[in-house]
Structure 1
Amino acid sequence: MVSEYLPVADRPLFLDPALPTRKRIDDLLGRLTLDERIAMLHQYSPAVERLGLGAFRTGTEALHGVAWLGTATVFPQAVGLGATWDEDLVHAVAEATSVELRAMRHRSPDMSLQAWAPVLNLLRDPRWGRNEEGYSEDPVHTARLGTAFCRGLAGDHPRFLRAAPVLKHFLAYNNENDRCVTSSSVRPRVLHEYDLAAFRPVVTSGAATGAMAAYNLVNGRPCHVTPLIGTELRRWAEATGRELFVVSDAEAPSNLVDPEHYFDDHAESHAAALKAGIDSFTDHGADSAIPVGRLREAFDRGLIDESDVDRAVRRQLWIRFRLGEFDPELDPYASIGPDALDCQEHRALALKAATESVVLLRNNGLLPLRTPKIAVIGPLADAVLEDWYSGTLPYAVTVADGLTAVLGEDVSVADGADRVALRSRTSGELLGGTAFDVTDWGDGVLTLRSAETGRYLRLDGTSLVADQEVIKSWEVRETFRLVPVENSFVLQNVLTGRYAVVDPSGTRVTAESPEAADRWDRELLRDGTADALAAALAADVAVVVLGNHPLIHGRETEDRTGLSLPSSQDALLRAVADVRKDTVLVVMSSYPYALDWADEHLPAIVWTSHGGQETGRALAAVLLGEADPAGRLPQTWYRGDDELPDPLDYDVIKAGWTYQYHRTEPLYPFGHGMSYTGFAYRDLILSAGTITANSAVDLSVTLTNTGGRTGSEVVQLYVRALDARYEAPLIRLADFRKVSLAPGEIRVLTFRLAGDQLAHWDVGTDAFAVDPGGYEVLVARSARDVVLTAPLTVAGPVPALRAGLLRAADFDDHDGVVLVDATRAAGDAVTAADPAVPATLWFRSVDLADAVSIEAEVAGSGGRVEFRCGGLLVEIPVPSNDDPYVWTTGRAALPAPLDGVHDVEVTLHGGARLAAFTAAD
């Protein structure tokens, strides 16, 4: 900064480190012009040279290591970190990541120290394309690891941040297909008990410094203008004494007009986003002219004022002061240098994280391996893959590498890929002048890798070239389909749909139609399956490594269509298992698969996420018994014949999502994972049998390692409400502890269970409530493997009955309903998901004393709303209006007065919208 060289007497107040930060920010804000402040609302905040203020950029990706900025330590994917169930380890990974961020800052001073991580979106649907980015399907588990990651990024200095963590993505974001226009219908119980529950503890802990709004809509309203930013996120942060700096997702501000059509013009939409709480607009890349111009237009039109601008700029400056920008000589992290990148300490941590994340799903005694000759087979046998948010690998240890390092020549490798030559029937030329190793990633999607160079074939403009070493780009140009046509094939690029042609000059180009494409003969030069079987027959054990490529099927912008392994991988696995009984399946993937056949027929199954640079050494350590398998599943693995809910059904309660509500027995439950040793549980002791909503109970359980080796166990504490008046979870995680015990070691573990950990969201009081009555405390190895239980009673007053105005969204049950926005600014309403099919709401135990009529707030394109209570039926017509935000009050007299407590059934017909109703006297 230029100003730091001024004499102290001449330096402005904002450069005085002795002053309170708030006063320094006030001084700096007062020196900035309105245009300078508006310019700071863009992701690329420009320098203000006259004040010595440097440029500032929001956002560096740091999900499991520093991404996109070159070589950096690559840790397991977030879902793999979730599988560790280890807060201390996750904290250490985040600390290493933030140290490397600081180290990179020396090389690139304009790089941001605001880290866009962690992702707190819950893994509700295992088909979500971004499943790899989240920790868990459970909010308690996610919040605990998210808090640890944030603390690791931020550091423990009371004044300065090592990096500024930003929570992604607020809110209820679990689908990629059409993500910018789909609306997540989230009723209040799901909102507060599930989706918000992952974010709330992280924010209230003070560990987070910011949040990013999600692409999707919630209840018909885009997340970038949701009032929940203010009423929830920022309200939670108040107790910490600091505000959150909320950023938009990339291009999302423009989406408010195109393609969401939620606002008529961009000035209006940007104004609404700023007022809702978006402090930084990530739009149009580094070109700030258009977004800043829109915000300036919003100001000129009176849609925003200086206080709106200043509020957002103030939040940015808070982060910049805490990152040490204005006090470099006091910043304790400023001395972190480039030698911290890819250092030995971080390499060791990467190995530990990868090892701790490995989950043993099944084992009949084959593991750990004791036989010397191992055949490592499959498309991931000798590969370590990067995902979109990976850094550049400094090195890569594959499964084959890891086993070979220990066993040497007793390890053989066969990837199972066919080697083919594709010869043009038109010219006789070989495609690319080379043979290709073909890998089928499912649904007929192939990659073709040159047998000579190992590089992937890709589409470059309109030409085909085999020059790509790694598949890692936003637009994946390296995937193809070989489409049979009249005893030959045409080669189609998946991204563009164009077909391969060889023109007279020999240049490989593409055509738009299959009719204009070259026909190709496919000559098999090497049978990949035959090679794999030969390797398996020559070995004592086959280790088949299958899974996904993180950039193909199931990634950002693309959800998976199902849970099955690619058919070619499944066929390879069955063929190998048919000739080699001792076959271990290693699934290396970003998400769960349905492994019904493998679970029934194979002696051992292991899962790991894409584990980063040390994947192979970690898996070798577990397979050979050097390390105990310490991971546990962070999400449910469903069976293949289990009909999962629709991906857009966000009502985890009604739809039956996750271990909390899914009633069908899963293949592998949440929390599942085996060890090479045994653990015995006994003596679950509670300090009291009765508590109140505002008290707590201490409990202890005794854990013994009954085996002959040291091992890790994750002790999981669950709770269950008995005879609840609401649809309670089947079981719900309350606490967990990961411990390592030596052979024969006995340890007494203690927990404290507070009354509020038994709470549910009471739609009658619009608040969390702990109902009196019976509960169970359960100690378990997984959500389906309970080993000890104890009763617990909650004493307290009986909940009050609902009366007066009832919001339509506060139903107890529903059929065919979606939640929508009551206005563009605030409020929820309900309407039929399909106007042609009546939709129904149920409100239980409503006090209707002296009611003689029903009044309802209605809107929509006609239709009617029917109310049934106590057997009486009234009907309120809905005036037809093209504007869904024009609300009217309808009233209908009951056929006879009501008294007492009744269930109310409400049926919506046509395009009727209902915001609220009351039984009037």
Structure 2
Amino acid sequence: MNKIVLLPLVFLSLFFQVNCQSKKSFEKYKDASLSVDERVEALLPLLSLEEKVAQMRIFHANIGVDADSKGNLKLSDKVVEKLKLGTAGIKNPGEHMDAVAAAKFNNVLQKYIIENNRWGIPGLFVTESYNGVDAEGCTKFGRPINSAASFNSDLVYKIWDVVGKEARLRGMHMCHSPEADLVRDPRFGRMSEAFGEDTYLTTQMVTNAIKGVQGNYEGLGKGTHIGAVAKHFAGYGQVLGGTNFAAIEISERTLIDEIYPPFEAAVKDAKTLGIMASHGDLNGIASHGNPELLTGVLRDQWGFNGYVVSDANDIGRLHYFMKVAETPEAAALLGLNAGVDIDLYAEDAYALLPEMVKKNPEIETLIDRSVRRVLRTKFILGLFDNPYIKISEVEKGVRAKSSLDLAKESDLESIILLKNENNILPLDKNKPTKIALLGPLVKPSTKKMFETAASSNVSFIAEKGFDLTDGKGGAPNLLERDPVAIEKMVEMARKSDVAIVFVGGDEFTSKEAFFTNAIGDRASIDPVGAQDELVEKLKATGKPVIVVLKHRRTLSINVFSEQADAILDTWDLSEFGDESTARIIFGDASPSGKLPVTVPRTIGQIPFHYSMKEINYKKGYLFLKDGPLYPFGFGLSYAKFEYSNLKLSNNDMTANSEIEVTVEVKNTSIVKAKEVVQMYIKDDIGSVTRPDKELKAFEKIELNPGESKVVKFKIHPKMLEFTGLKMEKTLEAGDYTVMVGTSSQEYLKTSFKLKTN
């Protein structure tokens, strides 16, 4: 009988011991004075297997996270069920609300998440950023390709600092941006989401974007900024044929020397909190199931300790699309083994893990590894201690005047002057002039924005004429030629002093090709529709024709280039884009943007980027002029700049020394203007075939009329390393050519010798 009495007492004692331990652990992970790792290790053992897996899954708000007509939280049954276990996070909650409404909504949503899972674990609210925060009521900047065209790293930091602040104020925590991919194929519809074709330029842009959006990392815990997720690791922009989801074939040497560096800098220099894996494969190995890529390179070599998130549904696609896994369960295990920590959206991948663990308990060790990384991110962001937004700070912090002014400034610095025949630009705003604003990319607000930038002496008429497509979101169709609309615009030009024609492409002619029934890539890079014809007929009127080129992919603009008197390449500017363009046209500022890509004459030249191997330039094509239509780094100014006195501090360099490069740049005109001074280096002879030249440094300077400045660059050994014969980073002795100038084709040059012994 004593045994019967004692046995329950033993169990009761054990219960109290376990309960006390759990309570202490609970109190420990809530203790903000402890380190992040200590808090993670205190929390992780408390979670059930199902709760752990919930911390490895992000779902989209469109499955049932909404507000009713009174602004109250409205959740679908599916979402309610998910949140009982907690969640890694939710994509785009409150995206269609203004900033204040979104902040209130996300506070309520976060409160619900915290109060409805056992351990009060907050969720990550995730956005994206291609024109600023991808949500209503935020400052709309130009796209990343515009930032690259500015060649102004400090400006990029400021833009993304605003993005980080505005996103956090509306209750967001992570951003599936920026893109660290190189984009070298203009058939690819997502071209404008990245920073161009060059490794060095992209690296500078990406690191400054991440530092900005994360508030130099310090803004994360303070609750002022959000975490970045650099994407798509790796090689995503190199899809064959320029079509989304296609295979990716990149030599290992190119991968290491050209594709990896922006991602490596994102990890080591900018301390990105997240990395997104690539949709594609790399030489036959699906990126989402590639442990050498996601663990070997990313973590073991570079020391990344954040989380890796899948691109949408891509773990499940290892089975039914990539077909490298026999079953959905096998696909989930591939992703988990490779190092993908969070499954984005899918119901057929990590959702299967709890059942898989029953058959293979060892999997839980990998699950714990991923959950640690997710929890760590939430602690770094301070979400356990300060999960809510102060509503009183939102209105004054979002769309502040300084942010709107920055959008305008970034526009002015990114607009590229490609042609200016007989110095037709800038136009004199004080001279009585009638201007026709014409073409398919004229907006309802274009005329008003131009009037804002001009004086009362200038009058405007505006006519869109025709659309390029029928505007169907998934797979738009080109519209038939409209001769009546063309003739109407030609007649308007005849009655005007100047025709400004808005042509190129829009959000329907260049966009992401989603997985289901969406097409955004193109087999041609010529301007669509009757745009060439329109420019030719406007030119035939005898009136000056100024082309404003708007686009999201590089276009072969041969007709525009031949016919127009001036061309302003504006890519996809901010919400003030037409006003900024008008300010450039009327001379309020001199254009200072430079091409972040090479502009080919025809699609037949692709692949075609400035830093290809020298041997690629040996032969041209029959019946085609050699070289690009416009080279990388090219961009005119209203000023004239004279380069002189290119000097090296030493003509010999060792593996332990540096060389200082100096060049004098003088503004020889009467216009104050900015210039991008670019330094390229060529390895004259290497053990493997080498690039024709590579951008290694740049600086944007501003000079008053007649002013000179000595610009200085440093050449250091790391700058000259490349992957050699043995597939190891090497520094080879020999001769190197240094080129400093205004583009990749116009420069002064000198040389030095590297001695490694």
Query: TM over 0.5: same fold?
Result: yes
Gaps (5+ residues) in structure 2? 1-22, 60-85, 88-112, 515-519, 618-623
Residue pair 2:142, 2:410 contacting (<8 A) in 1 also: yes
Match of 2:311, SS state, is coil
2:247 is aligned to: 183
Q: For 2:394, which of 307, 329, 337 is the aligned residue?
A: 337
2:564 aligned with 1:602: yes
Could you say which residue in structure 2 is the equivalent of 1:16? 31
Match of 1:546 among 499, 503, 519: 503
Corresponding residue of 1:534:
491
Q: Is the 8 A contact 2:612 2:691 kept in 1?
A: no
Q: 2: CA distance between counterparts of 1:198 and 1:597?
A: 35
Q: 1:127 to 1:114 in 2, by over 3 A?
A: same
Assess if the C-alpha contact under 8 Å between 2:688 and 2:725 holds in 1.
no
Paired AA for residue 138 in structure 2 = A
Of the candidates 777, 786, 792, which is equivalent to residue 752 of structure 2?
792
Match of 2:436 among 352, 356, 375: 375
Matched, 1:172 2:172: no
In 2, Cα distance between the equivalents of 1:333 and 1:117? 25
Q: Which has the larger radius of gyration?
A: 1
The alignment status of 1:728 with 2:743, answered yes or no, reads: no
Kept in 1, the 8 Å contact 2:494–2:543? The answer is no
Task: State the Cα distance separating 1:177 from its structure 2 match.
Answer: 7.1
Partner of 1:232: 297
- Which runs of structure 2 are paired with 1:347-426 in the superposition (5 Å)? 347-364=404-421, 365-370=423-428, 371=431, 372-382=433-443, 397-398=445-446, 401-403=449-451, 405-408=453-456, 410-417=458-465
Per the TM alignment, residue 180 of structure 1 is displaced from its structure 2 partner at its CA by: 6.8
**Cα pair 2:122 2:383 within 8 Å, conserved:** no
TM-score w.r.t. structure 2 length?
Answer: 0.82
- The one-letter amino acid paired with 1:64 is N
**One-letter amino acid of the structure 1 residue matched with residue 454 of structure 2:** V
- Superposition pairs for residues 508-907 of structure 1, below 5 Å? 527-557=484-514, 558-640=520-602, 643-645=604-606, 653=613, 656=616, 664-764=626-726, 766-786=727-747, 788-797=748-757
Residue of structure 2 equivalent to 1:277: 339
Matched-pair contact (CA < 8 Å) for 1:682–1:703: yes
Map 1:85-484; keep pairs closer than 5 Å.
85-105=151-171, 112-156=172-216, 158=218, 160=221, 162-174=225-237, 175=239, 182-226=246-290, 227-238=292-303, 243-284=305-346, 290-302=348-360, 305-328=363-386, 336-364=393-421, 365-370=423-428, 371=431, 372-382=433-443, 397-398=445-446, 401-403=449-451, 405-408=453-456, 410-417=458-465, 438-439=466-467, 441=468, 445-446=469-470, 473=473, 475=474, 479=477
Cα distance, 1:252–1:534 mapped onto 2, change above 3 Å: same
Deviation string, structure 1 residues 56-102 (Cα, Å, up to 9, x no partner): 146311233111x3222110011111101111111111011111112
Structure 1 residues 143, 636: closer, same or farther in 2, change over 3 A?
A: same
- Post-superposition offset of 1:26: 0.5
Whether the 8 Å CA contact 2:146–2:572 is kept in 1: the answer is yes
C-alpha distance in 2, partners of 1:33/1:378?
A: 61
Aligned partner of residue 561 in structure 2, secondary structure: helix
Q: Displacement, 1:54?
A: 3.7
User: Quick check: which one's strand share is greater?
Assistant: 1
User: Structure 2: how far apart are the matches of 1:590 and 1:616?
Assistant: 16
CA shift in 2, pair 1:705/1:635, >3 Å = same
- For the 8 Å contact 1:188–1:761, the answer to whether it is kept is no
- What do the CA deviations read for 1:276-305 (whole angstroms, capped 9, x no partner)? 110100133xxx5x4443222332332852
Alpha-carbon distance change, 299 to 763 in structure 1, aligned in 2, over 3 angstroms: farther
RMSD: 2.8
Counterpart residue number, 1:37: 52
Q: Distance in 2 between matches of 1:36 and 1:654?
A: 55
Residue pair 2:435, 2:500 contacting (<8 A) in 1 also: yes
Aligned residue pairs: how many?
Answer: 662
Shift of 1:480: 6.5
Deviation of residue 217 (structure 1)?
0.9
Q: Distance in 2 between matches of 1:333 and 1:718?
A: 48
Residues 545-565 of structure 1 show CA distances to partners (whole Å, capped at 9, x for unaligned) of 101121234543421212211
User: Structure 1's 309 and 84: CA in aligned 2 closer, same or farther, altered over 3 A?
Assistant: same
Question: CA contact under 8 A between 2:438 and 2:501: conserved in structure 1?
Answer: yes
The whole-number CA distance in structure 2 between the counterparts of 1:368 and 1:751 is: 33
Q: Distance in 2 between matches of 1:748 and 1:480?
A: 51
Residue matched to 2:142: 76
Partner of 1:56: 123
CA distance in 1, matches of 2:284, 2:360: 26
Question: Within 5 Å, which residues of 2 pair with 1:494-513?
Answer: none
Question: Residues 382 and 413 of structure 1 are in contact (CA less than 8 Å); yes or no, is this contact kept in structure 2?
Answer: no
Aligned partners of 1:381 and 1:413 also within 8 Å:
no
Question: Partner residue of 1:27?
Answer: 42
Whole-angstrom CA distance in 2 between matches of 1:181 and 1:594:
24
For 1:466, the equivalent position in structure 2 comes to none
Aligned CA distance change for structure 1 residues 579 and 83 (closer, same or farther; 3 Å): same
Q: Which amino acid aligns with 2:372?
A: R
Once the two structures are TM-superposed, the CA of residue 187 in structure 1 deviates from its matched residue by: 1.2
Q: What is the CA-CA distance between 1:674 and the residue it aligns to?
A: 0.6
Post-superposition shift, 1:202?
Answer: 2.1
Q: Is the 8 A contact 2:26 2:43 kept in 1?
A: no
Q: Give the aligned partner of residue 508 of structure 1.
A: none
Q: CA deviation at 1:738?
A: 0.7
**Distance change (3 Å), C-alpha of 1:615 and 1:481:** closer
Q: Secondary structure at the match of 1:71?
A: coil
Q: Secondary structure of 1:256's match? A: helix
Which letter does structure 1 place at the counterpart of 2:268? T
CA offsets per residue over residues 155-184 of structure 1, 9 Å max, x none?
135472610000011111124979675321
Aligned pair in 2 of structure 1 residues 769, 297: CA closer, same or farther (>3 Å)? same
Once the two structures are TM-superposed, the CA of residue 319 in structure 1 deviates from its matched residue by 1.2
Inter-partner Cα distance in structure 2 for 1:328 and 1:416: 50
Q: Partners of 1:246 and 1:252 in 2: how far apart?
A: 12
Give, as a single letter, the amino acid of the residue that structure 2 aligns with 1:412: F
Q: Which amino acid aligns with 1:229?
A: L
Change (3 A) 1:115 1:554: closer
CA distance in 2 between counterparts of 1:315 and 1:655 reads 45
Gaps of 5+ in 1: 1-7, 106-111, 384-396, 418-437, 448-457, 459-472, 484-523, 798-921
Q: 8 Å contact 1:708–1:744 — kept in the other structure?
A: yes
Counterpart Cα distance in 1 of 2:362 and 2:605: 45
Query: 1:62 and 1:446, CA in 2 relative to 1: closer, same or farther beyond 3 A?
Result: closer
CA–CA distance in structure 2, aligned partners of residues 778 and 38 of structure 1: 54
534-543 or 150-159, larger mean C-alpha shift: 150-159
TM-score, normalised relative to structure 1: 0.68
Residues 414 and 317 of structure 1, relative CA distance in 2, 3 Å threshold? same
Instruction: Return the alpha-carbon distance in structure 1 between the equivalents of residues 170 and 449 of structure 2.
Output: 29
